[in-house]
């Protein structure tokens, strides 16, 4: 109930924390847990954490396979992640329960259309052409130069086959590529908000935040994203204050540790940080894990 009140007030961070607290009580009622997971998925969704939202929808559907709201939420997540084939499958699963569910009917048609067209809407953010973003505000090279942010524009190949799912993420080279259709945009206060991709190499998982305000700290986002342990973290290592963040300097083949207390802008202004395809990317590891020790073995790492 507390989570629902926060949700109505659009305070999605506190709603997420409340739903997580409800799940921690382990009431043993599968139906109630399915509702909590679905509601938390909705909170994650509104915060732009589509991968976490999808994980919750999957868990809710396992507990209650006929829970239509969980299926709708999962389909919406797949749409945001550009997984059109999976979105269609979820829609069809929901339509078997209710063939007249309007949201699923419309989403099924839209996913099918986008899949056939093979389109990613706005996947390449071309600052040189000064595209208009949210609110009609123009994000041009001057704004980036003022902030000392370095952008790498990768040439697009119109003949290249487009994936039906989330644009491929190379977990060896850690290229964000054009992961989603989200774009950097200028807020009313003159600040920039960026789409940010989080990569978890140990588990080959991702999280995506649509609007990471440049003055927000990484730890603040981690507190929300990991308010509840992700289902793939079986060893329960991925706790907000037990995480290390890094970015890769591909040119020099070196890694730089990121201070979680720093803002996004502070990281983007680092002399060796280059934003590719309009999507800042960070790598996330559990502290002192055998995987991270093995991963960093033989690599030059600039630590805090």
Tell me the CATH number at 186: 3.10.20.90
Same domain for 200 and 109?
no
Q: CA dist 153 to 108, 126, 140, 208, 297, Å?
A: 33, 7, 13, 20, 31
CA dihedral sign, ordered 62, 67, 70, 71: positive
Q: Which of 284, 299, 130 is CA-nearest to residue 196?
A: 284
What CATH number has the domain bearing residue 51?
1.25.40.10
pLDDT digits (tens, 9 = 90+) for 15-67: 888 898 999 888 999 999 999 999 999 998 888 888 888 989 999 999 999 99
Residue 221 located in a structural domain: yes
Name the residue range of residue 240's domain.
179-303
Residue 97's CB is within 10 A of a number of other CB atoms, namely 13
Q: Which of 205, 185, 207 is CA-nearest to residue 48?
A: 207
Number of domains in the chain: 2
- Last-in-domain residue among 118, 133, 153: 118
Residue 70 located in a structural domain: yes
Residue 134 located in a structural domain: no
pLDDT at residue 140 in the model: 66
pLDDT beyond 80 at 187: no
Residue 138 located in a structural domain: no
Indicate the average pLDDT of the chain: 81
Same domain for 13 and 110?
yes
Residue 184 located in a structural domain: yes
The pLDDT confidence band at residue 127, using thresholds 50, 70 and 90, is: very low
Q: Which of 58, 32, 54, 26 is CA-nearest to residue 42?
A: 54
Same domain for 190 and 296?
yes
Same domain for 110 and 192?
no
Same domain for 191 and 298?
yes
What pTM value is reported for the model?
Answer: 0.53
Residue 136 located in a structural domain: no
pLDDT beyond 50 at 119: no
Same domain for 298 and 186?
yes
Same domain for 207 and 114?
no
pLDDT at residue 245 in the model: 97
- Last-in-domain residue among 74, 99, 118: 118
Residue 154 located in a structural domain: no
Same domain for 296 and 183?
yes
Residue 152 located in a structural domain: no
- Last-in-domain residue among 77, 103, 118: 118
- Token pair for 62: 């396992």
């Amino acid at each position: 109930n507390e989570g629902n009140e926060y949700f109505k007030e659009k305070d999605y961070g506190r709603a997420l924390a409340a739903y997580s607290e409800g799940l921690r009580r382990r009431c043993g009622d599968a139906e109630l847990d399915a509702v909590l997971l679905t509601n938390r998925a909705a909170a994650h969704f509104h915060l732009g954490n589509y991968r976490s939202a999808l994980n919750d929808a999957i868990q809710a559907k396992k507990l209650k396979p006929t829970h239509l709201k969980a299926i709708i939420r999962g389909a919406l997540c797949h749409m945001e992640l550009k997984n059109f084939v999976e979105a269609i499958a979820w829609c069809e699963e929901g339509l078997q329960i209710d063939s007249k569910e309007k949201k699923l009917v419309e989403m099924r048609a839209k996913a099918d259309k986008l899949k056939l067209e093979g389109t990613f809407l706005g996947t390449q953010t071309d600052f040189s052409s000064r595209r208009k973003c949210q609110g009609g505000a123009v994000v041009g090279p001057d704004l980036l130069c003022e902030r000392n942010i370095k952008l790498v524009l990768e040439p697009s190949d119109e003949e290249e086959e487009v994936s039906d799912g989330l644009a491929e993420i190379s977990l060896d080279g850690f290229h964000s590529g054009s992961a989603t259709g989200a774009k950097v945009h200028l807020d009313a206060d003159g600040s920039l908000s960026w789409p940010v991709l989080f990569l978890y190499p140990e588990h080959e998982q991702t999280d995506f935040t649509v609007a990471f305000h440049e003055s927000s700290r990484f730890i603040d986002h981690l507190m929300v994203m990991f308010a509840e342990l992700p289902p793939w973290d079986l060893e329960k290592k991925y706790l907000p204050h037990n995480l290390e963040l890094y970015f890769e300097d591909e040119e020099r083949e070196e890694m730089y540790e990121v201070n979680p207390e720093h803002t996004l802008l502070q990281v983007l202004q680092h002399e060796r940080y280059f934003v590719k395809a309009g999507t800042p990317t960070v790598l996330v590891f559990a502290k002192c894990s055998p995987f991270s020790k093995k991963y960093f073995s033989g690599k030059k790492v600039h630590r805090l």
